Amino acid sequence: MRNIELLAPAKDVVTAKAAIDAGADAVYIGGPAYSARMNAHNSLEDIAEVIHYAHGFHVRVYVTINTLLFDDELPVVEKLIHQLYEMGVDALIVQDMGILMLDLPPVPLFASTQCHITTPEKARFLEEVGFKRLILERNLSLSEIQAIREATTVELEAFVHGAICISYSGQCYLSYALGGRSGNRGQCAQPCRLSYQLFDRYHNPLGKPRYWLSPRDMCQIENLEALVDAGVTSFKIEGRLKDADYVTNVVAAYRQKLDEIRAKRGYPVRDTVEFGFQPELVKSFNRGFTSYWLQGKEKTTESVLSLYTQKSIGEYLGEVTFVNKSFFLLDRPHNVVAGDGICYFDWQKNLQGARVNTVKDGKIFSDGVAFIRRGYKIYRNHDEAFTRFLETHPPKRFVFVSFLLEELLHGVALTVTDESGLSVREDFPCEKNYAENPIQATEVISRQLGKLGNTPYRLKEFIFRWEKPLFIPIGVLNEWRRQMIHALHQQRIQSFTREEKRNVLPESITTPLADHEWDFRLNVLNEKARLFYEKYGFRVKEWGAEKGKDLTNCLVMTTRTCIRLELGLCERYTHYEGQGKECLKGIPEPLEPLYLATRYTLLRLEFDCQMCEMRVYLVSHTKR
């Protein structure tokens, strides 16, 4: 029977607990420093609290130390790793290969998606040097994932939901080139989410400024079985900057879907989650959804870009059929309420937003109604009622337990057993008074010991082994219950077995990747990383960009999302229905290379049709 894991993000303790309550099998969280999300750091005390809560449900906790490191940071990281191991962390997510040269405790290491895992050769190399799990590049197709699965035996983790980096992970230097904020150092300023003007080779503008490097959000909920078949064992939700309501809704949706798959295939299911709401992915932050290139470009038809906005549009409500100075009507029933946030694209395709003041008889009264026109499509990007309901009706995760009460010579014995078979027993000396009303006494004991509402446990059955029913005071029963549940919970935490893995580098490997000199894109910032690569035959030509390299005229981004394809100019994939075609109406076919520009930046786009990639070079940049 195969275990598949739902892996959820945790910005902090609150979101970690929300993810666990909603059914996550594991959470990943940033430590005090060196996380690829600079604004999602947590103290060691907070991580200890998350571990204690998670391990009570036998949920694993992974900590991210997935930035590139300078030499003077390695001793600090080594100490931090030992502290995390002693606290009970289940694995570390890392990018910098210098970490593998440190004196490490036997904690499993996961290769971050920043390691740019796109080929069976790269995956095999990372397995050989000791990684327990590989977090795959988000651009991969099912066939490429399957090829990596066939070449390796380690666990494979894939992103299934959330924001997407348009560039190959770990290979984007645009933010660093423009402002010194490196994505590989956890400081990405997200220049891909900016609006750019598109130009032809003669610098003639093509259409209006659009978000040419901004993808929609990934959603693979309908492709989970295909990913299971391709060999993925961990399904990762992106969002370590997202709040608890986002995490609760998204994790709940994927937990329900994965439980269907588990039931269908006979896979084990851990714990029971009671949902007091119906999760709806469109109600949480999204720029519109895409399966990205999972099916391959030959099968992808809809645009993967969010050309007209980098903000959340939420769920589609309907089209405006009537509007006056006070309210507007939609072409379908709706459940809009006061406090909702709505948005729409105006006649220039710019996103506009407004707040709903009141709703009466289907009429929506909004402070932005003066700018809404008939025919506009209305979206809701904040659902006030749904958000409030999540806050007041969070999911509840619990473990079923059975109680056994046995009569002893001088008292009783209580045994409580959870659904995995773990049990604790306690003998309670007491004066044995047989009940005058046996039925009532039995009901009282069952009811009082079964009052588990404020605990993560629920009563499955109660078994009595006695000569005849005993009378036991309610106060005594309550104390016994608290003592037994506390003992069981501590036993569950102590019995949780984390996997340990000694991190010993092999003397040699069988998968060569060092057949040429490697430039700054090898991401080497410290001496130990350089020694690691040279140990296995890599020829390190230069230090990583973050050592101060001027990236003018350098390749700063490589992506499978191609603007030629988006414009309808690809001769290979003519079926693709890109949004960019609308931007070139009435404009002659652009001549290559193409350029993207803001007021401060000029980028050159080149296209490798054989590799089916777009490459972005920095031509010039003026600091603001």
Domain 315-392: state its class.
mainly beta
Q: Could you tell me the pLDDT band of residue 259, with boundaries at 50, 70 and 90?
A: very high
Give 328's strand partners: 323, 364
Local structure of residue 434 (DSSP, 8 states): B
Does the predicted TM-score (pTM) go above 0.75? Answer: yes
Q: Are 565 and 579 in contact (CB under 8 A)?
A: no
- The span from the CA of 3 to the CA of 497, in Å, is 16
Residue matched to tokens 């009507």? 329
Structure tokens, 573 = 């994939």
Q: How far is CA 238 from CA 9, 126, 165, 526, 574, in A?
A: 6, 23, 11, 28, 31
Nearest Cα neighbor of 450 from 439, 466, 461 is: 461
What are the start and end residues of each CATH 2.40.10 domain in the chain? 315-392
Report CA 352 to chain centroid distance, whole Å: 28
- The span from the CA of 545 to the CA of 187, in Å, is 14
Q: Could you tell me the pLDDT band of residue 327, with boundaries at 50, 70 and 90?
A: very high
Nearest Cα neighbor of 419 from 462, 464, 458 is: 458
Question: What's the topology of domain 5-164+216-280?
Answer: TIM Barrel (3.20.20)
Report CA 240 to chain centroid distance, whole Å: 7
CB atoms under 10 Å from CB of 398, counted, come to 18
pLDDT in tens, 390-443: 999 999 999 999 999 999 988 999 999 999 899 999 999 988 889 889 999 999
Q: Are 114 and 519 in contact (CB under 8 A)?
A: no
pLDDT in tens, 525-554: 999 999 999 999 999 999 999 999 999 999
Let me know if 306 is exposed, middle or buried by CB neighbors in 10 A (0-12, 13-18, 19+).
Answer: buried
pLDDT in tens, 474-530: 999 999 999 999 999 999 999 999 999 999 999 999 888 866 789 999 999 999 999
SS (H, E, C) 611-624: CCEEEEEEEEECCC
Mean pLDDT of 119-133: 96
For residue 96, give the 3-state DSSP assignment: coil
- The span from the CA of 524 to the CA of 533, in Å, is 9
Residue matched to tokens 């009901």? 443
Q: Could you tell me the pLDDT band of residue 31, with boundaries at 50, 70 and 90?
A: very high
Q: Are 51 and 61 in contact (CB under 8 A)?
A: yes
Please provide the DSSP assignment of 562-614 as one string.
-HHHHTT--SS-TT-B-GGGGGGTTSPPPPSSEEEE-SSEEEEEEEETTTTEE
What are the start and end residues of each CATH 3.20.20.70 domain in the chain? 5-164+216-280
- The span from the CA of 50 to the CA of 62, in Å, is 10
In the prediction, which pLDDT does 39 show?
76
Q: Which position has the higher pLDDT, 20 or 623?
A: 20
For residue 527, give the 3-state DSSP assignment: helix
Give 407's strand partners: 412
Structure tokens, 230 = 């391709």
- The span from the CA of 338 to the CA of 555, in Å, is 49
Q: Are 191 and 174 in contact (CB under 8 A)?
A: yes
Least confidently predicted of 34-38, 109-113, 353-357, 387-391: 34-38
Strand order in the sheet with 594-597: 197-199, 594-597, 601-608, 613-621, 555-559
Nearest Cα neighbor of 160 from 92, 234, 110 is: 234
* Portion of the chain with pLDDT greater than 70, in percent: 99
* Amino acid found at 394: P
Residue matched to tokens 């109660």? 462
pLDDT in tens, 333-372: 999 999 999 999 999 999 999 999 999 999 999 988 989 9
pLDDT in tens, 43-96: 999 999 999 999 999 999 999 999 999 999 999 999 999 999 999 999 999 999
Q: Is 314 left (phi over 0), alpha (psi -120 to 50) or beta?
A: left
- The span from the CA of 216 to the CA of 310, in Å, is 8
- The span from the CA of 516 to the CA of 235, in Å, is 34
Give the chain's length: 624
In the prediction, which pLDDT does 269 show?
85
In the prediction, which pLDDT does 587 show?
66
Q: Cis omega (within 30 of 0) on the bond before 593?
A: yes
